[in-house]
Each structure stands twice: as structure tokens, then as C-alpha cells.
Structure 1
Amino acid sequence: MCGFSFGYSLSMHEVEMRTNMAHSLNLLKERGPDQAGCVFRDGAIFGHRRLSIIDIHSSLQPLTDETGRYTLVFNGEIYNYRELRGGLKDTWTFKTDGDTEVLLAGLVLEGLSFLKKMEGMWAFCLWDSKLRKLLMSRDRFGKKPLFFSTNGKELWASSELPALKALIPYSLSENPKSLVSYLEYGFCPAGSTFYSEIGEVKPSHYMWWSEGAGFSSMAYWNPFDHKVEGSSYDLKDLLESSVSKRLVADVEVGAFLSGGVDSSIISSIAARHQKIKTFSIGFRDPSYDESKYAQSVSAWIGSEHHAEYYEESAIGDVGDLTLRRLGQPFADVSLVPSMQLCRLASRYVKVALSGDGADELFSGYQRYQGAVLLQIYFKAPVIVRKVIEKLVRSLPETYVHHSASLLKKAQLFIAQSENYEKGGYIAPRNWRRSELYELFGLTGETHLEGAEFELIKSPDDILEMMHRDAFNYMVQDILRKVDAASMDSSLEVRCPFLDSKVAEAALQAPLSTHRSLFAGKKWLESSCYSLVPKFVWRRRKHGFSVPVGEWLLSSQAREILLYSGHDLNQKFIDGLLLEHSKGKDHSQRLWALYMYLLWRLRR
């Protein structure tokens, strides 16, 4: 796991480009503390920071082929690189034993068709010095980020926004569409950022760029392209194979273990292959705590378990982490415990397995159950629904986790009903559109336009929610959070549920395979029931979050929320803070706003 930056300019002097690249690489040092490299060739500059996982003493980057025509900078892991190498060795003389040269050889010899053969997570830039043309690509679910910017004649790209900004010689402006989408959902849609001049390569896509011709982009993978025939026996085998591939490393591999279904399955399969260390974060607030379940699963699978309690002081660090790693607002507060979990794991291992992806692929979120209820709810008369919605919103709340509050579940249900009725992307929302009009001080006649989401059409409402989550919420929130938290601790995180074969089987399965009327993960349970203790299957869905309600009333948070260097309706913000202080929980709205204002203040 690594980080890289790339630049191309015929107008900028080499000395200036090298100086900027040195600054950019310094900002990426946590992504790759083991080695740094920089190469300049005829207006193109390549920088790389390495976290050594495979072929530790070789496979240095930037990597150039023998002819000097192609240069590669690459971030990620190609899990099937050994098999791919076998198909290339007759036409390529390999000098290293890692996956980087396999990627270079495959792209040079086979072109874009090689992308479809790769199983792994990646972002890369491949420069063709003869044609002065750049190829960029990201893995199927975008686990590894890749940002870019151009003024037409120059091109700049990097693994992280702050490192990219260190290269760009022109000014940047805020993207208003991204702000609308961010406040609603907590993250930017795929392909967009908070800067109008900076884009992002989309997951499962490649992009070509050359001076004059500009960009061309195309998807190389669609999970619905090829019919998958599966059974519960097949799914278990697919997961066994996926975990096995992700245990390949020249360093020790551990696993995150919350005690929930997803992480327990992955940890259990890994423990069947080798002795592993597992890691979890507990909470002193019992409505948030899962530590006892993690400890029980660890004892059952025989892992060496390491756990810590969440430290309240970590909330104050998350703003610095967000600006340092993400470089733009990000509203998922679970970044805080994720950061602490990664710091814990990195003291013992350089690689950790995660259960991310199972909720989206196997129908695990409670909002899918909520969608079933909504289908019933919308059969009630409109007047009845309006009365229910008004009553639910008027009731006071506490700051406990929603899993321990029927009222919070009811309020989430009502918020979800608005999206469902309008036919938009149904996902957890921080701000309703009506609230955004107040926040921006706009009248109802003004049209608020956000950036576009990937709106995949599916034959069933709930399947459509799952599929949209897989290519929106999971990609731009869950995986982005894990990448930021793990890379800040120089830890590589691998997600077996996101293996392409597992994902294709899950995404193509009918809804009846995934869930009964009110319960999801039906296929996962029938396939993997014996892999974990029985109590794991009986537990309610919990999630991974922190109690920030009271912290938002601290002087540190209030100072930012009362910051006046913006065009928002401060009176409306003050009103939310007052209601929040009296017990009406506005944690999600205020946290999203806090992170945005912090970015505005410090960018």
C-alpha cells in the first residue's frame, strides 16, 4: 500500500516541479513510510511513497520498462499477481517478484483488457512518453483514491487531495454542487470533489489524457454483465478463496473484529488458515459498545485479541485527520473510532482484513428493512402519515445510539420516507432539502442542485437501494473513511467481501436470496452459519459510531459552529445549537456543518 503523485507541464521548470513534488510526497509519507522515489522525464514527473507489503526489498517505484517508454506509479495490491505473472513470463523478463512489475508488464503487453483480469485494489498512473499520454485507473469499488486536475496543457494527479494541491500552480475554487450533496449525505458523489477544478477517477473506470485531446473515460467492469449461477455452497467457497488471496503478504496479516456478522465471518475464515491477531474498539457508553461480543468471537475462533476503549479526546483529532488525509469535508463520525482502531492494529501488524462491503452486497442495513415498512406505510392515507410525521419530529431525543432508541429509529424512518416518496437516492441523510433552503437563506423558488450520484436501476426497490449504496455510500463514505484512517497509521486494509466474484454473485442474486420480509443477510447466514458462534446471528444490527452529541456543545465545537466567515444563515445555525443543547438531537446535521466550517476556516 502506497501513495503517489504525477505531474506534466512543459511550461514549468524542472527545479520547481521537483520542489513541489518533494512537498507532495512529504504529505503522503504516512501512506508510504518505507521508501520514496522521484523521476523526471521530459516534462513529466513521478513521485511515489511505499508501504512495503510484498517483495519488500525490491519492486521500487516509479518503475520504467526497459525501453524507457512507459513509467508506472501504483498504489494498492493485485492479489492474483502470481497467476497473472505466469501468463506474461514468456514475453516479459521479470526483474522483481512483486505485483508492480506484473501490472506494468500486463498493461504494456495486453493493454486495457488486462484490467479485467486483475483482482485487487488499485489506483495507478501509466505514462507513455512516446505519445505523451497518461492512463489512470481505479479498482472496481474505488478502495484506492485518485484525484486529478488540468488546465488543458498541464495535468496533475495524486492519491490524496492535499498532496495534489501541493502540485497545482493555479488557484482553486469551491464547488457549490458538492456542498449541497455533502450536506445531504455527508460525502461527495463519485467523480466530484469540493474543488471545481479537481476531479476524481471513478471506481471501475479508466481515463486517458493527452494535451490537446483532453480526457476520455470508460468503465472496464459492470457487475451485471455476466450471468452468475450460484448456491449457498458456492458463496462459502468464494469467501474462503477471497480471504485466502488476501492473506498473501511478506508481513503479518491481522483482522478487525467487532463481534458483528461481517467481521466475525472474515476473522473466522482467516483463523482457519493461520494464527491471527484481531482488533476492536469498545465504548464505555453501553448503547455503543460491542467489545464483549468481539472478545467472545475471538475466544471461539482462537485469535490473539487486542482491544482498547474509545478515547473521548480522539474526537478533537478528527478535524486534523480529515484535513490531512481527505483534504475536504467528510461527515461520517465513525472516522473517529476507525482512526483509533487502525492505530491500535498498526502497532502489531501492517495488514488487516475488514468486513466492509457485506451490508451493501447482502442486504444488512436496517434501512432496507425500513424500505419494506415504507411500502406498507405509503398505503395509509396522506393525512394519517402527516400526523405521524409531525408527532415523531416533535418528540424529544437523547444522544444514545439509534440501536437503543425506538424514537431515533422512528425519526430515521420518517426521514427515509421523504426520499422514498420523491424517488431519489435513499441513503442516510444529514439535512433535508427544506432545511438546506433555510441554511442557505433561499426561497422555495430557487433550485438547489447537487452533484450527481450513480443511480443504478434494478427490478426491485430494495435491490435498487442496495446497488446504489454499493456504488455511492460504500464507495464514497465507508471505503473513503477506511482508506483515510488506515493510511494515516501506515496500515493496509483488505476487504474480502469486495472480491469481484463475491460482488458479482451478490449483486446479481434476486432479493429473495438475500432477505426474508424483515431480515437480511439470509444468503450469508445459510452459507456461513457454522463459521461463527450462534449468538452472532441473533444480534441486532449495530454499526460503528461514537456519541458526539455532548461534544458538539463543547467550546471547541461551538467556536467553529459560530464562525461567521461564510454565507450561511447563522441565525438558523444558532437555533439548531440551542435546540441541541436542550436535548433535541441534531448531532448529524451539526457534525456535517462543523466539518464543513472547519475546512473553510483551515483550507
Structure 2
Amino acid sequence: MCGIAGIIGASHFKENMQKMLESMGHRGPDHSAIYKSKNCILGHNRLSIIDLSEDANQPFIDPTGRYHLVFNGEIYNYKELREEIGNRYQFRTSSDTEVLLASYIIYGKDCLEKLNGMFAFAIWDQDKKKVFAARDRFGVKPFYYSHNQGSFIFCSEIKAIHTIVNKVVNETAWANYFSYGSYGMPEETFYSNISQLPGGYFLEYQEGSLQKYCWYNFEKRIKDGASDSGSEAEIKNNYLNLLEDAIKLRFRADVQVGFNLSGGVDSSLLLALVNHLHPNHNIRAYTFYTGDERYDELPWVEQMIANTGNPLEMVRLNSAEVPQLAEIISDYQDEPFGGIPTLAYSKIFRQASEDGMKVLLDGQGMDEQWAGYDYYSSNTNNLIQGVGKESAFKPEVLSRDFGELGKQPQYPEPFSSRVQNLQYRDLFYTKLPRTLRFNDRVSMAASTELREPFLDYRLVEFAFGLPENMKIRGGVHKFLLREIVKEFVPFEVAEAPKRPLQTPQREWLGSELVPFVEQSLQDLKECRYAIWFDFDLMEREWKSYRKNEKGHSFFLWQWINTALLLKNYQ
């Protein structure tokens, strides 16, 4: 896991690249280096995970000196790819980095179809003066860029571009965030002069021309693969075989591997299988709690640990920590993020880092592939789990001109099934992209790598393509997955319902954190973007929230998060 950066085209100094790398030094504290030629500057911060030797440092150059690679992520099937390549390339390291470069040299852009991993990378062809860059299928690893004035600038985090490019907010993205809870479309960011390469896309940049292409056609793969999947027993067996292989691949590391554990079905299954496949590793598990039994998942976590015997590190978040931690994490995120649960989650990675842990596994991705959210079986189009009929947003507090910029996001519906269209939306436009961004930033803030075995594309495609009654049956979501889980975890865990709320955010914001909320509202009033809001209405909503029974608190978090991100903009 690393941080990558590049400046192609217009003249820039090496000092510019140094600023970019320093701004995201947390992504790779083990080594930092720069490559510079007349037309190209590449930079890399390395977090060493596979092949810890200096020979695997980046920017990585092929033996001929023609190709220069900067790469963030992991190619989990690199050993198989290396064997396939054979003697067509003379390897100097045992790294997945070199396998990636060799694959591109031999297969060109078709190498992407061979990769099983999470990645964002760029390859500079010195002969053609051309950049080839790509992002993994689901966009686990970030790739941001700015293209103007004859230059192409890319990096792993927005803040790095902002060291040499002015900050210009994307008011439409912000208006959609306040009105509809949107975190942007796949190419958008909250800054109008910075874009992101969507997951499953590659780009080519040469002589001022930028071209983007979709290399992962998920819709076509699902439709082409549609067939009778066999009996339920066969489906369970086939899925379990794929899952075990996905976990084995993601255990490839030359450093210690740990585990994030919640009390949910997904992470419980993952922990059980990890122990089944690696019985002698005694993997350390991490979980967070707040001391509020209405939200903490400790009862389920402790049941799992009693069953598996793994050492458990319980990381507590107190309300008093929230103001300072929220400011710190906002700086790492660059864009709005989910709320106090993200702050709690960030403490896990900080603790793991202090324990010398460089890699953590996580159970992200099951709900999207197995239709785990409550709204899959309701008539709502909610983007937030557990909201019910209550609105999570307060667009009425926006000024008229600013509010009119917001437009209801429209998402493609390529499938005949309503449930599959919602799953597709969540995989590529809403739930998963924003969660992956939140998680990438909080893990890398602590210089730790996060791996999600359930996002192996083979698993996602297999489960997504199953008939609806395999996913939702008798009002039970993730039905067949729960049947698989029962073979490995305690019954109470396998049958546990989806719990959308993991911290007492709404209670804290209306009690212990009142001074923090009020200071945030004051910061909004004093910032450059105060014209976005009607503060009389905002104050009325705030007073109503404090006085009445606490409802949904997401709109409050939106205001707080915005104050943290924009209060210093001039």
C-alpha cells in the first residue's frame, strides 16, 4: 500500500513533487523517491508489504529503462501471473510490483483482465512519451487527477494536488450532498478542478490528449454469466470454495496480518474462515466500542471470540475525543465522510499500527453482493441504511441560489431486476464507493493496509448473479449467506439482524457534544461559504433537535463536517 503521484507535460520543478509526497507521507513511510525526465516527474511513498527489500522500491523501472511504474495496492495473484509469464521477462525481485510491470509489457492493457487485486497505478513510456494508468474493478484504491494548461497531474489523495493547484469547490457536488446525501458520481470530487478515474477504468495521456476507457464491463459479465447455478447445496459449496481462495490470496504478505471484527454476519464468517485456513496463526482481532450497550457490538464479538479463541483488542471511543479526532480525520479525508463511526473505526488502525500491524482484513462488500440492506425489500430509494421514512437531510436550510444547484442523482438501471439495479447502484455509485474512500483514508492515515476479501470480483459476480430468492427469503436478507455462516459461527451471530447504527452519534451530538456542534455552526457562519446557508433556519433545526426526541443526526454531521473542511478556505 502506497501513495503515488505524477506530473506530466508542462514544466514543473522537482520541489513540486516533493510537496505532493510530503502531504501524503502517511501512505508510505518506509521509502520515498522521485523519478524525473524532461516530460515527466513520478513520485512514490512506499509502505512495504511484499518483498521488503530495496530492490522493490518505486518508481520501478524495467531492465530496458523504457517503462517507469508507480503503483498503489496489491496484486494478490502475482505468483500465478509470474509463473504464467515465465521467461518472457527477467525478474529481479519477488515483488508484485515487478509482476505488474512485466504483465503490462507483455500483455499491454489486456493485463488488467488478469489482475486479481486492488490497485491504482501509472506507467510512463519514455519512448512514446505516454502515460497509461488504471484503477481496480471496484475502485478500492484511489486515483485523482487534474488536467489543464498542458499538464496532467495525478495522485492518491486530493490534498497532494492541492499543494500545487488552487482549491476550487464543486458547488453542485456540495449542493447534492446536502440535498440528497450524494457523495458524487464516479468521476466527480467535491472540487471542480479535480476528477477521479472511476473504478474499472484506464486512461491514456499523450501530448496533451487524455482518453478514458472502461475495461471492466460488470453488466456484460453478469448477463453473459447468467445461467442455472445448480442446487442450493451446489451454490453454497461453489461460493465457499471461491471465498476460501479469496482469503488465501489476501493472506500473502511479508508482514503480520490482523483482523477487524464487528458483531455482524460478514466479519464473523471471515474470521471463522481465516482461522479454519490458518489455524496456527492466532490472528489478532480488533473491534471498537463506545460503552453504550444500545450500539456496541461487543456481545456478538465476544461470542465469536469465545468460539475462535483469537486474541482481541477492544478500542474505545469516548465522546470527549470526537472534536479533535474529527478535525484530524477531516484533514485526511479531504472530502465529507460518514460520521462518528468513521472516527471510531480510525482508532482501530491507529492501535493496530502501534502494535506493529501493517495489514488488516475487513468484511466489507457482502451487503452489496448479497442484498443485505433493509431498503432492498422496501419501496424506498434510501441511500442510508436504517432511516425508515424519516429524512436524513435538511435541504430547506440552504439558500435559494445554492439549493437550486442540487439535482437528484440519476443512476443507471441495466438489469430487469429492481433488487439487482439497487445492488448495482450501491456497488458502483453510492454505498461501496464512499465506504471504500472513508476506509482507505483512515487506514492509510495510520500507515496500515486494509484488505477486503469479499471484494474479490469472482465472489461479487457470483453472488450478484444469483436469483433474488437466494438473497432475500421470508424477509431475511443475505439468506443463503446466512445458511453458509451457520456452519462456522454461533447461531446467535448467524441470525443477528443488520445493525446500521454503531455509535451513539445522535445522543452525543445532542448532549455531550453540544459545544462542539455550536462551535461548528459558528465556524460555518464565519467561513467563505456562509452564503450557502440560511442560518436562522439552521438554528431552528438545531434547537428542535435538542428539544425533541433525537431523530436522525446525519444532517447535523453534514454541517459539522462541512465546517471542518471549509472553515479555513479563503
TM-score, scaled to structure 1: 0.86
> Any idea what SS the aligned residue of 2:369 has?
helix
Question: What residue in structure 2 maps to residue 50 of structure 1?
Answer: 46
Q: 1-side partners of 2:439 and 2:107: how far apart?
A: 32
Q: 2-side partners of 1:328 and 1:492: how far apart?
A: 20
Question: What residue in structure 1 maps to residue 2 of structure 2?
Answer: 2
Deviation string, structure 1 residues 127-179 (Cα, Å, up to 9, x no partner): 112222211211111111110001141011000010121133xx342112211
Return the letter of the residue paired with 2:35. V
Question: What residue in structure 2 maps to residue 315 of structure 1?
Answer: 322
- Alignment check: 8 A CA contact 1:147 1:159 kept: yes
Query: Is residue 555 from structure 1 mapped to residue 479 from structure 2 by the alignment?
Result: no
Query: Is residue 190 from structure 1 mapped to residue 186 from structure 2 by the alignment?
Result: yes
> What is the aligned counterpart of 1:180 among 144, 165, 175?
175
> After superposition, where does 1:9-48 map in structure 2 within 5 Å?
9-12=9-12, 17-48=13-44
Deviation at 1:525, TM superposition (A): 1.8
Q: 2-side partners of 1:536 and 1:201: how far apart?
A: 38
Cα gap change, 1:597 to 1:211, in 2 (>3 Å): farther
Return the letter of the residue paired with 2:376. Y
Question: What residue in structure 2 maps to residue 83 of structure 1?
Answer: 80
- Alignment check: 8 A CA contact 1:247 1:270 kept: no
> What is the aligned counterpart of 2:557 among 566, 585, 591?
591
Q: 1-side partners of 2:141 and 2:333: how far apart?
A: 12
Return the letter of the residue paired with 1:361. Q
Deviation string, structure 1 residues 343-399 (Cα, Å, up to 9, x no partner): 22223321111110011111111222334xx69xxxxxxxxxxxxxxxxxxxxxxxx
Question: What residue in structure 2 maps to residue 436 of structure 1?
Answer: 395
Deviation at 1:223, TM superposition (A): 5.3
Question: What residue in structure 2 maps to residue 509 of structure 1?
Answer: 466
> After superposition, where does 1:360-371 map in structure 2 within 5 Å?
360-371=368-379
Q: 2-side partners of 1:258 and 1:10: how far apart?
A: 48
> Any idea what SS the aligned residue of 2:258 has?
strand
Higher mean displacement: 140-149 or 292-301: 292-301
Question: What residue in structure 2 maps to residue 291 of structure 1?
Answer: 298
> After superposition, where does 1:84-99 map in structure 2 within 5 Å?
84-99=81-96
Q: 2-side partners of 1:443 and 1:205: how far apart?
A: 32
> After superposition, where does 1:160-179 map in structure 2 within 5 Å?
160-168=157-165, 171-179=166-174
Q: 2-side partners of 1:458 and 1:440: how far apart?
A: 38
Query: Is residue 575 from structure 1 mapped to residue 550 from structure 2 by the alignment?
Result: no
Higher mean displacement: 210-219 or 512-521: 210-219
Return the letter of the residue paired with 1:595. N
Cα gap change, 1:598 to 1:518, in 2 (>3 Å): same
Question: What residue in structure 2 maps to residue 134 of structure 1?
Answer: 131
Q: 2-side partners of 1:462 and 1:593: how far apart?
A: 32
Higher mean displacement: 145-154 or 469-478: 469-478
Question: What residue in structure 2 maps to residue 222 of structure 1?
Answer: 218
Q: 2-side partners of 1:458 and 1:318: how far apart?
A: 42
> What is the aligned counterpart of 1:534 among 491, 504, 511?
491
- Alignment check: 8 A CA contact 1:189 1:476 kept: no
> After superposition, where does 1:478-493 map in structure 2 within 5 Å?
478-493=435-450
Question: What residue in structure 1 maps to residue 274 of structure 2?
Answer: 270
Question: What residue in structure 1 maps to residue 232 of structure 2?
Answer: none
Q: 1-side partners of 2:34 and 2:134: how far apart?
A: 20
- Alignment check: 8 A CA contact 1:142 1:202 kept: yes
- Alignment check: 8 A CA contact 2:359 2:448 kept: yes
> Any idea what SS the aligned residue of 1:266 has?
helix
> What is the aligned counterpart of 2:407 among 449, 452, 473?
449
> Any idea what SS the aligned residue of 1:187 has?
coil
Question: What residue in structure 2 maps to residue 381 of structure 1?
Answer: none
Q: 2-side partners of 1:84 and 1:150: how far apart?
A: 33
Return the letter of the residue paired with 2:258. G
> Any idea what SS the aligned residue of 1:458 has?
coil
Q: 2-side partners of 1:532 and 1:138: how far apart?
A: 35
Q: 1-side partners of 2:156 and 2:517: how far apart?
A: 29
- Alignment check: 8 A CA contact 2:135 2:201 kept: yes
- Alignment check: 8 A CA contact 1:188 1:476 kept: no
Deviation at 1:586, TM superposition (A): 4.9
Deviation at 1:546, TM superposition (A): 2.2
Cα gap change, 1:548 to 1:518, in 2 (>3 Å): same
Q: 1-side partners of 2:24 and 2:35: how far apart?
A: 16
Structure 1 residue runs of 5 or longer lacking an equivalent are 376-401, 404-408, 416-428
Q: 1-side partners of 2:30 and 2:265: how far apart?
A: 35
Question: What residue in structure 2 maps to residue 422 of structure 1?
Answer: none
Q: 1-side partners of 2:296 and 2:326: how far apart?
A: 23
Cα gap change, 1:281 to 1:501, in 2 (>3 Å): same
Q: 2-side partners of 1:502 and 1:490: how far apart?
A: 28
Q: 2-side partners of 1:596 and 1:358: how far apart?
A: 30
Q: 1-side partners of 2:405 and 2:313: how far apart?
A: 51
Query: Is residue 301 from structure 1 mapped to residue 308 from structure 2 by the alignment?
Result: yes
Give the RMSD, CA atoms, in angstroms.
2.2
Question: What residue in structure 1 maps to residue 336 of structure 2?
Answer: 329
- Alignment check: 8 A CA contact 1:223 1:503 kept: no
Q: Which runs of 4+ in 1 moved over 4 A?
A: none
Higher mean displacement: 26-35 or 558-567: 558-567
Return the letter of the residue paired with 2:169. E
Deviation at 1:544, TM superposition (A): 5.3
Q: 1-side partners of 2:446 and 2:205: how far apart?
A: 33
Deviation at 1:438, TM superposition (A): 4.3
Question: What residue in structure 1 maps to residue 433 of structure 2?
Answer: 476
Q: 1-side partners of 2:187 and 2:411: how far apart?
A: 10
TM-score, scaled to structure 2: 0.91
> Any idea what SS the aligned residue of 1:53 has?
coil
> What is the aligned counterpart of 1:414 among 389, 400, 405?
389
> What is the aligned counterpart of 2:364 among 342, 356, 363?
356
> Any idea what SS the aligned residue of 1:250 has?
coil
Question: What residue in structure 2 maps to residue 384 of structure 1?
Answer: none
> Any idea what SS the aligned residue of 1:352 has?
strand
- Alignment check: 8 A CA contact 1:10 1:43 kept: yes
Deviation at 1:77, TM superposition (A): 0.4
> What is the aligned counterpart of 1:243 among 243, 247, 272?
247
- Alignment check: 8 A CA contact 1:430 1:589 kept: yes
> Any idea what SS the aligned residue of 2:476 has?
coil
Return the letter of the residue paired with 2:32. A
- Alignment check: 8 A CA contact 1:62 1:73 kept: yes
Q: 2-side partners of 1:223 and 1:272: how far apart?
A: 34
Q: How many percent of aligned residue pairs carry the same amino acid?
A: 29
Deviation at 1:443, TM superposition (A): 11
> What is the aligned counterpart of 1:519 among 476, 479, 491?
476
Q: 2-side partners of 1:561 and 1:212: how far apart?
A: 43
- Alignment check: 8 A CA contact 1:236 1:528 kept: no
Q: 2-side partners of 1:456 and 1:206: how far apart?
A: 23
